[in-house]
Structure 1
Amino acid sequence: MLLAVRCFGKESVKDKLLETQNIVKLEFDNIPKRRLSAGFQTAQRPENHRRNRYKHILPYEDTRVVLRSTKSNAFGYINASNVLVKFGKHSLRYVASQAPMRATAVDFWQMVWESGCFIIVMLTACVENGVDLCYQYWPRMNTEGKVMRFGDYAVTLSNCIEAAVHVFSSLRLKHLPTNQQRLIYHFQYLDWPRGGTPRSLTSYLGFLDEISGMRRHVENQSALMNLSAPGFPFYEATPEYHPELGCHISDVSPPVLVHCNSGVGRTGVYLLSDIMIYSIEHNLEFDLPSVLAMLRQQRMNFVDTYEQYLFVYQCLEEHIRHSRLV
């Protein structure tokens, strides 16, 4: 029987942390890892095997990001998933992706362009303990003005700011066939080992807050844009209906693209903590196990471990405690 522990108020988050860790672990263990009815037809096609960083982490057929087909990618496949969370009139939209590989970097930037992303959240190092976790898909720090070419896309580093545990880069993404450009805000968190949790709770919450501020900025700017104006494309002029999202693409805010190495472990922690903090700040009903279950209905295996799940509870407690002090 699923242990459903409901959290409808801020006090209950602290109460939850006072319960035994065994109860929290049981709660985590009883959340289904994936949607059993989901298909993986495109992800499992032989020609797409090389596009999957890990054979056991695949996007569901009905929530996968679908790219415009090209000669080199006839099925428009990339290992990434659309994630939409609705709170009545409120909604948050994400793209959860595996880290780019050399063979998929072109597809990655095509996805950024076509999905209307302005913010990329990177939660992994490119190499950790000698293991390749992510291809260097953007210009390195201290290479301002350098241009990297990825098929029809050119990426230029405008500026870069290094903080204690993260690096912020402002990138200029240019679609060469149309000569249109978009500013991309790239946030890389540096202090989060694979399979673990951020070493500093306070630093991680500050990172979340900085990205939330940027998201609000992007949403405010997009509200002022003429969506069909040349030179700063946002979405297609004619909104396209997306069955997997259950709405027209212009009905929701621009997506935040989040990736670690696999697009499920650290990515899931980020999505879960971001969504829960958003719900607290907007006085919405929130329920951690139900939100994680809902996320796993859109991409498998979000949040790898019990320790990561517990960390999200700790984030909520710290966020609430800090909010009361302000």
Structure 2
Amino acid sequence: MSADSDFRFSEEFEELKHVGRDQPCTFADLPCNRPKNRFTNILPYDHSRFKLQPVDDEEGSDYINANYVPGYNSPREFLVTQGPLHSTRDDFWRMVWESNSRAIIMLTRCVEKGREKCDHYWPYDTMPAYYGDISVQILNESRYPDWNISEFMVCRGEQQRVVRHFHFTTWPDFGVPNPPHTLVRFVRAFRERVPPDQRPIVVHCSAGVGRSGTFICLDRILQQILVCDYVDIFGIVYAMRKERVWMVQTEQQYICIHQCLLAVLEGKDLSGSSREIHENQGFEDDEGIAESGM
């Protein structure tokens, strides 16, 4: 990238700073809901927030810090949320279940630089764990150098579903992957396994804005360049920021999106799939998972 392009990116990013910020976040700021927010300044807009099914007459029981965000295939393709707190992980699984989501994208580690960024909201072993009335069991896990892909059996009552969990493990908070095209390969690995009609897709980092917005923007770009020779990165980020605050949080992340697109256009090490370094099979084989409707 040249100095001229860096200057242009700075100007564009400056224009994005206040997009959407005049929209109300009334429900997020109710006294009963404030403790459910990981950060006091990152709150979901009222108009696009995901509403949980209310529990009896419990005030705030429909609240979770999450917004619908547009993707390439649908205006509500993604459900973007914060990394669950220990106190909100039951709500997180309610959202996954009630939205009928079959894929979760995790873009943070649970602990970074000695600080908790996200609760470990899934089981540690192959025994089922309960989150409220929802049970989650790991079926299998595949480990790659920069990410892990797991499949969970999620059950509520007599119903059960398989949900895929894509965990990108080498993305620093506020920063960008190094090299950037590692993220391109992760997005492609995700899209190989999740078809466009399978939505919404739950996406989170720690706050659910910077890394999450960068991932969604790149996913849109990679699909768009297959059918079109024009990509409006500024417009994509603008549209996301109308639905959730601070999507693509830093200028460095905004530049990273352009670097990823450039790497794709130049064909830099993007065609091969990453080598799997470990696989731990659970109780189901691949055929059993396929028969579960995934």
Specify the TM-score bucket, using the shorter chain as the normaliser. 0.7 to 0.9
Match among 240, 254, 272 for residue 199 of structure 2: 254
**Quick check: 2:123–2:136 contact (8 Å CA) kept in 1?**
yes
What SS class does the counterpart of residue 195 from structure 1 fall into? coil
**Quick check: 1:86–1:92 contact (8 Å CA) kept in 2?**
no
1:213 lines up with 2:192 in the alignment: yes
C-alpha displacement of 1:33: 3.7
Residues 40-119 of structure 1: pairs in structure 2 closer than 5 A: 40-71=25-56, 74-85=60-71, 93-119=77-103
C-alpha displacement of 1:38: 1.1
C-alpha displacement of 1:26: 1.1
TM-score (ref. length: structure 2): 0.86
CA distance in 2, matches of 1:181, 1:17: 52
Deviation digits for residues 181-208 of structure 1 (CA, Å, limit 9, x no counterpart): 0100001111001010012223221111
**Quick check: 1:158–1:171 contact (8 Å CA) kept in 2?**
yes
What SS class does the counterpart of residue 43 from structure 1 fall into? helix
Specify the alignment match of 1:289 in structure 2: 234
Deviation digits for residues 250-296 of structure 1 (CA, Å, limit 9, x no counterpart): xxx51111100000011111111111221112226421111111110
**Quick check: 1:259–1:267 contact (8 Å CA) kept in 2?**
yes
Moved more, 297-306 or 31-40: 31-40
| Pair 196,86 (structure 1): closer, same or farther in 2 beyond 3 Å | closer
CA distance in 2, matches of 1:205, 1:130: 28
**Quick check: 2:68–2:76 contact (8 Å CA) kept in 1?**
no
For structure 1, the residue ranges without an aligned partner over 5 or more in a row are: 1-15, 220-252
CA distance in 2, matches of 1:210, 1:19: 33
| Residue type at the aligned position of 1:197 | V
CA distance in 2, matches of 1:208, 1:324: 14
Moved more, 36-45 or 120-129: 36-45
**Quick check: 2:71–2:216 contact (8 Å CA) kept in 1?**
no
Specify the alignment match of 2:11 in structure 1: 26
| Residue type at the aligned position of 2:70 | L
| Residue type at the aligned position of 1:302 | M
1:170 lines up with 2:151 in the alignment: yes
**Quick check: 1:42–1:75 contact (8 Å CA) kept in 2?**
no
C-alpha displacement of 1:30: 1.2
- Identity rate, percent: 29
Specify the alignment match of 1:11 in structure 2: none
1:199 lines up with 2:184 in the alignment: no
CA distance in 2, matches of 1:323, 1:197: 17
For structure 2, the residue ranges without an aligned partner over 5 or more in a row are: 272-294
**Quick check: 2:21–2:245 contact (8 Å CA) kept in 1?**
no
Deviation digits for residues 289-315 of structure 1 (CA, Å, limit 9, x no counterpart): 111111100001011111110000011
**Quick check: 1:33–1:302 contact (8 Å CA) kept in 2?**
no
**Quick check: 2:33–2:60 contact (8 Å CA) kept in 1?**
no
Deviation digits for residues 167-193 of structure 1 (CA, Å, limit 9, x no counterpart): 1111000013xx100100001111001
Specify the alignment match of 2:244 in structure 1: 299
C-alpha displacement of 1:85: 3.8
CA distance in 2, matches of 1:17, 1:281: 26
Residue-pair matches, total: 270
| Pair 163,61 (structure 1): closer, same or farther in 2 beyond 3 Å | same
**Quick check: 1:99–1:135 contact (8 Å CA) kept in 2?**
yes
CA distance in 2, matches of 1:273, 1:92: 16
**Quick check: 1:32–1:296 contact (8 Å CA) kept in 2?**
no
